[in-house]
Structure 1
Amino acid sequence: MEQPISVTRSNFNDWMVPVFAPANFIPVRGEGSRIWDQENKEYIDFAGGIAVNALGHAHPVAVNALTEQATKLWHVGNGYTNEPVLRLAKQLTENTFADKVFFCNSGAEANEAALKLARKVGLDSGVAGKSGIVAFNNAFHGRTLFTVSAGGQPKYSQDFAPLPNGISHVAYNDLEAAKAVINEQTCAVIVEPVQGEGGVIPADIEFLKGLRELCDQFGALLIFDEVQTGVGRTGALYAYMNYGVIPDVLTTAKALGGGFPVGAMLTTDKFAPHFSVGTHGTTYGGNPLASAVAGAVFEFINTPEVLEGVKHRHQYFLDALNTLNAEYQVFDEIRGQGLLIGCVLKAEYAGKAKDITTWAGEEGLLALIAGPNVVRFTPSLIIPEQDIDEGIARLKRALAKLAK
């Protein structure tokens, strides 16, 4: 058997389109909440593949589901259905508000489907011009042309004009601002229950309740983007359950596959029929491999043990971070839900989030940013306490560099 091609980090610059700026090391294997690079250096993983690796790395539940399905059937195309995808659809509809599911491969695709469905519902309503979409500043919904336009971060969309029109952005958590723009021509409001990329900002409950009332008043779909918050991340199966506000459409991805690419749009029998054969589709969405893994991961997470464990780990993290912050006085606020945690830098350290995550990497800790002023943690939902302790110790060494 031939040896694999030898590669180094510098080869990224040689061969890859430069839309990412990856770290200067290459992870090669993982187990639980730890990974190792080409030099066999160990890292504690507080990043979780950006809230994807819900069970950590190489968890037996996911590995077994993947390997078992890999010996049976990989792909058949959308001219046929398959057993794993039907089982997964049953799991999702039995455990959420939804009646119907559309499967795809990513969060962006799920949001694209949701926005297209909303436009179709608006068209079918017979109300002239009912195509407006209301979204929120600093939101992130994906990188397709439609979803990047709905996202409220111009830095991601400004180079790709002309953008899809009919999208309005207002301040997040500002119900009065939303009231000023939602009207009879609005077909949808899309919102994250917790803004992830925008800084780990939880929605106020009255804000989400108010959006629900406005959507009911004007016949608009309320879309919850739960790509980052879904599948146990906040301590509930989906974040809408924390608020008691039920959307018309929900998008999910990331943790759903535990590291295997999969996404889904969930909706109800009221709205699903507006999509008919040929109005939307996907080649790979709902393939047997992805569906088998997602079904196993979803079943494992959707238990009181795991979901209550997320809440316990949230408090454990907060206690450790507050103790650390009492010593270094770096963070102005520590916020979030479950194991989606954002540490907001004090004004004197503004813009230093990336430096902190770089130093953390040098100390053997993987962490994320959520804008220039927020350090973000999205670890495995089942990360052991001893790994949290070790990760915090490594973060402490990184923060010591900030103080120098």
Structure 2
Amino acid sequence: MTTEAVAITRELSGPPTGGSAAVLEHYQRSVMNTFGPPKRVFVRGEGPYVWDADGRKHLDLLSGLAVTALGHAHPTVLSAITGQIATLGHVSNFFATPAQVALAERLTAMVADPGEARVFFTNSGTEANEAAFKITRATGRTKIISTEGAFHGRSLGALAITHNPKYRDPFAPLPGEVEFVPYGDADALAAAVDAETAAVVLEPIQGENGVVVPPAGYLARARQICDQHGALLWMDEVQTGMGRTGSWLVHVDEGVRADVVTLAKGLGNGFPIGACLAVGRAAQLLGPGSHGSTFGGNPVAAIAGLAVIAVIERDGLLDRATELGEHLVGAVTALGHPMITGVRGRGLLRGVTLAAPVAAQVADAALDAGFIINAPRPDVLRLAPPLIITTEQLDGFVARLPELVDGATKATRG
């Protein structure tokens, strides 16, 4: 970013003097309290690092919830975005742009042969799942099978297929005829799906539930079950897709063909974009006027997605995510710490499981020590670092992990 651009950004954002405390005071007076008090005020990012308003440097091992897969301010993505917005920023979906079409072709090629798939662009994963929900309704059926522990978003449609009662109950009744079955249990899935089922929606790895990996063959069995009853198989790869797990898409890597696929997060490296892909007959279920989006697929978002794909290919980041993920598992396991019971996940989406429900306290201690992680479950730490992170940076965190866990455990026990 040029010196002039930095100056304009600072002038427009107008951060009050006084560092984080002053910004948080303004936050509390102006932003809805839907997230609780922010833990930090961040003002700058570069690569895998971010700096807060008080000048403290943090290693971002969460990537904004698996979003900034190429790190912060990646030069290729930044150049693509600024070049596009300086040329053409928005035209609405009454019109097409080359970037939109090019990204559509790249994404549909990931799930099907040319001409077999179509894409609807959105601004987020939740919106992608809303589009997918409407596709399932267009089958003429209304029953959807989801799974216990599932998370698909917070809008009403996406919330209807999300399992957590804490999120659901305050907004009931929710849309749809949704039934939840245990995740990873293919027999339970088979018992629930019938001739009235519109779709089965699955995360190939459950992220918000603590990075839960299903048994081998589970996704393939789900495909068979859906085929037996004429139901759609809907794969939510919002968190797992776009290289996060060492492949473009987990289900494709396992040889499974989905009818509907939803993407977001890492697709734009921080620029808001999502996508709902439909394959075969599902690609024809929504027609003119059946769905829409003002901003979805605008040329700036599309060029961001194209730049992300190009960098991942150019720099071999799919293989790197696999290698670094395996290294991380080995390093954490080698600690032999009695409070660390395992590491699960795939690629650079990992859950470190703990022997006691102290994950939130460990995450807070890590933040104070300059590491950003989170606790999706009371006994699980989630790591989703940028794909560009180095072995040395990961090892630096692992070396500090025992003291973070010990400190949190001791504080909890009083």
TM-score scaled to structure 1, two decimals?
A: 0.94
Q: Which residue does the alignment assign to 2:365?
A: 359
Q: Which residue does the alignment assign to 1:295?
A: 306
Match of 1:60 among 56, 64, 75: 75
Shift of 1:78: 1.3
Asked if 1:275 is matched to 2:286, the reply is: yes
SS state at 1:202 partner: coil
Cα displacement string for residues 338-394 of structure 1 (whole angstroms, at most 9, x for unaligned residues): 000001111xx22x1111100000000000122222100001012111211222234
Asked if 1:13 is matched to 2:28, the reply is: yes
Shift of 1:5: 4.4
Cα displacement string for residues 313-339 of structure 1 (whole angstroms, at most 9, x for unaligned residues): 011111221123x1x321222100000
Contact map agreement 2:144 2:176 (CA 8 A) in 1: no
Asked if 1:196 is matched to 2:207, the reply is: yes
Shift of 1:399: 1.9
| Match runs of 1:124-135 below 5 Å | 130-135=141-146
Q: Which residue does the alignment assign to 1:78?
A: 93
Q: Which residue does the alignment assign to 1:113?
A: 131
Asked if 1:35 is matched to 2:50, the reply is: yes
Contact map agreement 1:47 1:368 (CA 8 A) in 2: yes
Match of 1:376 among 379, 382, 394: 382
Q: Which residue does the alignment assign to 2:277?
A: 266
Shift of 1:96: 2.6
Contact map agreement 1:345 1:373 (CA 8 A) in 2: yes
Change (3 A) 1:209 1:345: same
Asked if 1:322 is matched to 2:314, the reply is: no
d(CA) in 2 for partners of 1:401, 1:19: 29
Shift of 1:272: 1.5
Contact map agreement 1:364 1:394 (CA 8 A) in 2: no
SS state at 1:25 partner: coil
Which stretch has the larger CA shift, 196-205 or 22-31?
A: 22-31
Q: Which residue does the alignment assign to 1:343?
A: 352
Q: Which residue does the alignment assign to 2:399?
A: 393
d(CA) in 1 for partners of 2:409, 2:136: 49
Cα displacement string for residues 127-157 of structure 1 (whole angstroms, at most 9, x for unaligned residues): xxx2100000010001110111101111111
d(CA) in 2 for partners of 1:25, 1:274: 44
| Structure 1 segments of 4+ aligned residues over 6 angstroms from their partners | none
Which stretch has the larger CA shift, 6-15 or 379-388?
A: 6-15
Q: Which residue does the alignment assign to 2:235?
A: 224
Asked if 1:102 is matched to 2:120, the reply is: yes
Shift of 1:235: 0.6
d(CA) in 1 for partners of 2:404, 2:44: 24
Shift of 1:22: 4.7
SS state at 2:256 partner: coil
Q: Which residue does the alignment assign to 1:127?
A: none
Match of 2:265 among 250, 254, 273: 254
Change (3 A) 1:309 1:5: closer
d(CA) in 1 for partners of 2:381, 2:75: 30
SS state at 2:23 partner: coil
Contact map agreement 2:145 2:197 (CA 8 A) in 1: yes
Change (3 A) 1:178 1:95: closer
Shift of 1:245: 1.2
SS state at 1:271 partner: helix
Which stretch has the larger CA shift, 102-111 or 303-312?
A: 303-312
d(CA) in 1 for partners of 2:76, 2:308: 7
Change (3 A) 1:403 1:268: closer
d(CA) in 1 for partners of 2:234, 2:101: 23
d(CA) in 1 for partners of 2:211, 2:176: 27
| Count of residue pairs brought into register by the alignment | 392
Contact map agreement 1:365 1:395 (CA 8 A) in 2: no
Identity %: 38
RMSD (CA atoms): 1.5
Asked if 1:168 is matched to 2:168, the reply is: no
Contact map agreement 2:68 2:269 (CA 8 A) in 1: yes
d(CA) in 2 for partners of 1:380, 1:330: 26
Contact map agreement 2:333 2:342 (CA 8 A) in 1: no
Uncovered stretches (5+) of structure 1, i.e. residues with no partner: 124-129
Shift of 1:401: 0.8
Cα displacement string for residues 35-85 of structure 1 (whole angstroms, at most 9, x for unaligned residues): 111111111111110000100111111111111112111111111111111
Asked if 1:331 is matched to 2:349, the reply is: no
Q: Which residue does the alignment assign to 1:49?
A: 64
d(CA) in 2 for partners of 1:304, 1:120: 40
d(CA) in 2 for partners of 1:310, 1:31: 19
Which stretch has the larger CA shift, 80-89 or 23-32?
A: 23-32
Shift of 1:21: 2.4
Cα displacement string for residues 98-131 of structure 1 (whole angstroms, at most 9, x for unaligned residues): 621110000001111111101102x1xxxxxx21
d(CA) in 2 for partners of 1:269, 1:184: 20
Which stretch has the larger CA shift, 145-154 or 205-214?
A: 205-214
What residue identity is the alignment partner of 1:120?
Answer: A
Shift of 1:403: 4.2
What residue identity is the alignment partner of 2:286?
Answer: F
SS state at 1:40 partner: coil
What residue identity is the alignment partner of 2:122?
Answer: C
d(CA) in 1 for partners of 2:311, 2:281: 30
Shift of 1:169: 0.4
SS state at 2:210 partner: coil
Contact map agreement 2:219 2:251 (CA 8 A) in 1: no
d(CA) in 2 for partners of 1:367, 1:322: 18
Contact map agreement 1:232 1:302 (CA 8 A) in 2: no
